[in-house]
Structure 1
Amino acid sequence: MTTAVAAPFRFFSLQVVRTRRLGPSLARVTFAGPDLHAFHSDGRDQSLSLFLPHPGQPEPAVPVELGWESPRSGEAGSGGGWWQAWRELPDDVRAVMRSYTLRALRTGEDGHTTEIDIDFVLHGVEPGSPVQAGPAARWAAGAAPGDRVVMLGPAVADNRAIRFRPPADTDLVVIWGDETAVPAACAAVESLPAGTRARVWLEVPHAEDVQDLHTAAEAEVTWLVKGAAAGPEATLATLRAAELPPTTHPYVWIAGESGRVKRLRRHFVGERGIDRRRVTFVGYWRQGLTEEQLREQG
């Protein structure tokens, strides 16, 4: 007898069905498509890879026929297979690849996924912005129903691309995230069951970026509007000054700009004495580097 094992990830061909501006810095894009019947996720900070077309292309150029796995390593994103074939495409042809987190999914009566939401940060899109907009921000700002993308995402609900995993004995959840981590952080807070205590800090560039957050947990959520002058020191000072509720088994999740994330991890582990095994930290981006440059650095 043989046992079939479902591949944990696969490619999904999707189309935009609607868009919504959440604020000056954030846009929500809703995707659908027949492939989503095989999309499964437990949510929280579920990580995805999104492939976007260049301007003028009807769809992104991704060698999906080679499958998601690398034959050399068995891991997505390294070695041969689709990854190598994608890397060998000309720069102006190869699909733009960016990492995102799932904000929400909806299912039909049969339990299969029918739509997913992904929130995009629109850095540099505003007129007169001091930073240059990247290809994903430009795409999201102009996304319209019918636009086609490819996603590398989970076909198994509980997969290794979910990092938010409070231990069973957790008596306090602590969360910090910048605007790039807001979608994951909000999804994580919304997933917390009733009776869970949580202390949450979310940083956004503008007051209009603040969102309503609904959760059954006993969560105190503080939105921090960064402004032009805010930086790592201001973030660290805010967390140092914060009084946490009494706790014996806290769990900490920190995500956003990698330099700031590392400093906050040192604060929670070194200054507050929280067991490093109970601190999840994820660098979604690094100041001054593109995602391509980060990928080259490994």
Structure 2
Amino acid sequence: MTENLPAATRFARQRVRHRFTAREAVVTAVTSPGGPFIRVTLSGPELHDFVSDGPADHARLFFPHPLTGELVAPAPVGPDADGIVRPEAPMFPRDFTPLNMRTDPDTGLRAFDVDFLQHPEPGPASAWAAAAEAGDKLVVVGPRGSATAPQGADSLLLIVDPSALPAATRWIASVPARTEVEVVVDASPADLDWIEPYLHEHGGRAVTVTEAFGSLADAATDAGIDDGTFLFAAGEATRLIPLRRLVKYEYGLPREQFALSGYWKRGMVNFDHHAPIDPDDPED
């Protein structure tokens, strides 16, 4: 147990910067990892120095124009250089969690997976994934850096909606076996039938999975947060506002003890997850 450690030590996360550039990636496989997800495997020579060490990492994927099929995307400044050159033409980027970073044993090339959640009204990314075939190309930008999962937390509380389930699997796999993990899912009860096995299979261990009742602040209160709990929450930005206010003002948790990220915002296309979750209190 870590009750005598200060929060900065207990919840310490190693932070590393990566070379920030644009890399071409090629689809090598399209599979089904469970539920309404499509898994696309990306690889290619330009991924040789692609790194993603943190469970909250994101890479920005640039997709072809949904009507013309033209891929307009940033380009690298130069070989081994840091930075990108952005084109003037419109682009179609979306942020995703890189999964299963590895070296392909057959080709010797770096590869990773991306899980695309399918929607009743698909956007450019999910529509592209539904039609993706081996040989299709994307451009990948980032991640700029990684922050590892805290290794000293007694428990990990994940409050996520389906868009953040891929990240949740990385969190589950990144904490020590002694860390108790609970996942509260902001979804319908019927969705738990596929969410629990998805988390188990891709997180690498069985965890407690429950449905969020009421607001996400209510869900956090029901789950319980003590001095040894690290909280990660992600999903629809406005749903996260009461939770952020709870942990920051009512609980007074130290900043090291939680991480919240708005992955999307209802009514807004291509929401920037770097934007403040709470417009009335933008200070992070």
Residue in structure 1 matching 2:119, options 123, 148, 151:
123
Distance 1:220 1:22, change over 3 A: closer
- Separation of aligned partners in 2, 1:193 and 1:216: 12
Equivalent AA in structure 1 for residue 153 of structure 2: T
Q: C-alpha offsets along residues 257-287 of structure 1, whole Å, 9 cap, x if unaligned?
A: 1111222222334444533441111111111
Once the 2 structures are TM-superposed, how far is the Cα of residue 7 of structure 1 from its aligned partner? 5.8
Deviations 1:6-40 (A, max 9, x none): 96222111111111233453211111111122112
Match of 2:246 in 1: 267
CA distance in 1 between counterparts of 2:193 and 2:231 reads 27
SS at match of 1:97: strand
Q: SS at 1:213's partner residue?
A: helix
Distance 1:191 1:297 in 2: 26
Alignment of 1:33-52 (within 5 A): 33-52=44-63
Matched, 1:199 2:178: no
In structure 2, C-alpha distance between the alignment counterparts of 1:173 and 1:82, rounded to whole Å: 39
- Aligned equivalent of 1:141, options 130, 138, 149: 130
Aligned residue type for 2:65:
H
Residue correspondence of structure 1 range 253-264 to structure 2 within 5 A:
253-264=232-243
d(CA) in 2 for partners of 1:297 and 1:174? 23
Q: Unaligned 5+ residue runs, structure 2? A: 1-16, 277-284
* Partners of 1:190 and 1:213 within 8 A in 2: no
1:117 CA displacement:
0.4
CA-to-aligned-CA distance 1:36-85 (integer Å, 9 cap, x gap): 221122141211000011246566212415469xxxxx9x7xxxx623xx
The corresponding residue for 1:82 is 85
- Name the SS for the 2:207 alignment partner: strand
* Unpaired runs of at least 5, structure 1: 1-5, 69-73, 125-131
Q: SS in structure 2 opposite 1:19?
A: strand
Paired with 2:273 and 2:252, the residues of 1 have a C-alpha distance of: 32
Q: Hey, what's the Cα distance between the residues in 2 that align with 1:116 and 1:123?
A: 23
Does the CA-based 8 Å contact 1:178-1:255 persist in structure 2? yes
* Number of equivalent positions: 255
* CA distance in structure 1 between the partners assigned to 2:113 and 2:272 by the alignment: 25
Contact persistence 2:40–2:129 (CA under 8 A): yes
Residues 1:11 and 1:189: Cα distance change in structure 2 (over 3 Å): same
In structure 2, which of residues 87, 94, 97 is the aligned counterpart of residue 98 of structure 1?
94
- Whether the 8 Å CA contact 1:58–1:148 is kept in 2: the answer is no
Asked whether 1:251 is paired with 2:251, we answer no
Shift of 1:294: 4.5
The alpha-carbon deviation at position 113 of structure 1 amounts to: 5.6
**2:253 alignment partner AA:** I
- Indicate how the Cα distance of structure 1 residues 284 and 32 shifts in structure 2: closer, same or farther if over 3 A, else same: same
Deviation at 1:199, TM superposition (A): 2.1
Q: What SS is found at the alignment partner of 2:166? A: helix
Q: 1:18 to 1:223 in 2, by over 3 A?
A: farther
Q: C-alpha distance in 2, partners of 1:101/1:32? A: 15
Instruction: Give 3-state SS (helix, strand or coil) of 1:240's partner.
Output: helix
SS of residue in 2 equivalent to 1:190: helix
Give me the whole-angstrom Cα distance separating, in 2, the residues matched to 1:123 and 1:202: 17
Distance 2:200 2:71 in 1: 33
Q: C-alpha offsets along residues 81-139 of structure 1, whole Å, 9 cap, x if unaligned?
A: 623xx2x21xxxx3311111112212257xx7621001112122xxxxxxx32111111
Q: Give the Cα–Cα distance (whole angstroms) in 1 for the partners of residues 104 and 26 of structure 2.
A: 18
- The amino acid that maps onto 1:148 is K
Give the match for residue 150 of structure 1.
139
Q: Is the 8 A contact 1:258 1:285 kept in 2?
A: yes
1:12 maps to which residue?
23
Structure-2 residue corresponding to 1:128: none
* TM-score in terms of structure 1 length: 0.72
Q: Distance in 1 between the 2:172 and 2:141 partners?
A: 24
Give the letter aligned to residue 39 of structure 1.
F
> TM-score if structure 2 supplies the norm length?
0.75
Counterparts of 2:222 and 2:257, CA distance in 1: 21
Match of 2:157 among 174, 180, 188: 174
- CA distance 1:43–1:163, change in 2 (3 Å): closer
